[in-house]
Amino acid sequence: MSNILFKYINLFLIEIWSLILMMAPYLLIGMFVSGLISIFINKNFIYKHIGPKSFTSILKSTIFGVPMPLCSCGVIPVAATLKESGASKGATIAFLVSTPQTGFDSIFLTYGMLGPVFAIFRPVAAFISGLISGVIINKYDDDEHHHTSEVHNNTNEDDSFFVRIKLGVKYGFYTLPRDIVVPLFQGVIIAAVISVLIPPNFIAENFSTQSNIMYFLMLLVSLPLYVCATASIPIGLALMGKGLSAGAVFVFLMAGPATNAASINIVKNILGKKTMYYYLSLISSTAIIFGFILDSFASIPISDMVHQSHEHSIDGYGSLLLAISFLFILGHSYIINYDEIKLNKKDQSEPPVIQKKALLKVEGMTCSHCKESVETAVNGCTGVEETIVDLATGQVTILGKDFENKVIEEKIINRGFTITS
């Protein structure tokens, strides 16, 4: 019994290390490119260029959304601010649908692990699905009048080229890893478990006559699941190794990152229940359609493309060095997140001497983008001197003088979050 357990543990660890070796070079390149993209296509740039109800605004929001490395929760605060800034429901939904499906970091990793067919098809599907969703929402979901607020730019347009590059590198190798470290490792662990415990071609041998059902099964699993575009890739690779068709895997890669249970609830709060149903229907239908297209019309065998991409991976000491660098960046990000949680708890247990303090319990915060959104909203209220957000517990501590609780609560709710106490 102990020998069998040791064997599976050994296979599990080998599989994890193999995945890390495979992922490291492509994800490091993706992080660097994502950092550079953040210099030119940042949130303030998007708020400035996406206007009211029109096809052009939908097109812009989709174009801006595809390369941005934001998960299905991280995209919500940006979308909420878009809505506050005057964007139509169609432009907002187009951004919500296209952005979390892919990003430059996940595109490079998709090429490295799943091959060029997936790497090309994935951003194309994200763009088309975002565009279609935005057009349909603008046509069939009436856009009520909404308040347009000013968006404050936190970046200095007079920064030198080298300062901008430094900020981009910081985003790519510091901010972005903090958001993906936990879901990425979760994805690697799930992929390793699938690879070790499920026999090769198990799905193909047992469900080969039920391929259409697998589309819907993948969809049911994907919609409520929180998995970012990057973390979904090793899981998709493991499922393909067990015989799941490329199209069914693509349904998971498209619908999984696009939404989750928390983001569905937040979309309902921001845009209404009717828009939420449109949002889910459009993601579901486009995912199944693109999965079917991939299975029906891909002229090059997908499995061959996957194997070819692995053959071009870096070998030897270069691969080892990149893997160690990759683990160092992610480990450093995890330690920072852990230290921040402890610091927040200390700050909340020993608050400074102030005139007024308020505690709120906020639901829907899952990543640093959510935290930043709440902090920005609260700190912009008159009388607030400091805001402490604890992602682990959802508690928001507000310190200051003569601030209005109702104003703060409205600001948080307008960002798409729910206040429970």
Q: What is the pLDDT of residue 416?
A: 72
pLDDT of residue 112: 85
Burial (CB count <10 Å: 0-12, 13-18, 19+), residue 144: exposed
Q: Is the dihedral of CA 395, 400, 405, 411 positive or negative?
A: negative
Structure tokens at 320: 């080892």
**Are 183 and 368 a contacting pair, CB within 8 Å?**
no
- Range 70-90 burial, b when 16+ CB lie within 10 A, else e: bbbbbbbbbbbbbbbbbbbbb
Q: Give yes or no for a contact between 365 and 371, defined as CB atoms under 8 angstroms apart.
A: yes
- pLDDT for 129 equals 94
Q: What angle do CA 76, 391, 103 make, to 5 degrees?
A: 40
Structure-block tokens of residue 349:
């247990």
Nearest to 280 by CA among 292, 265, 270, 290: 265
Q: Which helix (H) or strand (E) holds 26?
A: helix 2-40
pLDDT score for 21:
83
CB burial string 173-182: b at 16+ within 10 A, e below: bebbbbbbbb
Q: Which strands sit side by side in the sheet containing 395-400, from one edge to the other?
A: 384-390, 395-400, 356-363, 418-419
| Tokens describing residue 4 | 């069998």
pLDDT value of residue 51: 65
pLDDT value for 148: 43
pLDDT at 304: 53
Q: Which residues does 259 contact at the CB level (< 8 Å), separation at least 6?
A: 72, 100, 223, 279, 280, 283
DSSP of 120-155: HHHHHHHHHHHHHHHHHHHHHS--------PPPP-S
pLDDT of residue 159: 60
Number of separate helices (H) and strands (E) present in the chain: 19, 4
> With a cut of 70, which residues of the chain have pLDDT below it?
1, 41-49, 51-52, 72-73, 81, 84-85, 142-159, 201, 203-211, 298-316, 337-355, 366, 368-369
Cα 126 from Cα 130, distance rounded (Å): 6
Give the Å distances, CA to CA, from 54 to 57, 185, 282: 5, 40, 19
pLDDT at 152: 43
- Taking a C-beta distance cutoff of 8 angstroms, is the pair 353, 47 a contact? no
Instruction: Specify the pLDDT at position 345.
Output: 57
Class level of CATH domain 351-419: alpha beta
Q: What is the pLDDT of residue 253?
A: 92
Q: Domain coordinates of the chain in residue numbers? A: 2-330, 351-419
pLDDT of residue 231: 83
Identify the helix (H) or strand (E) that includes residue 201: none
Residue appearing with tokens 């890669």? 253
Closest to 33 in 3D by CA, of 236, 147, 169: 169
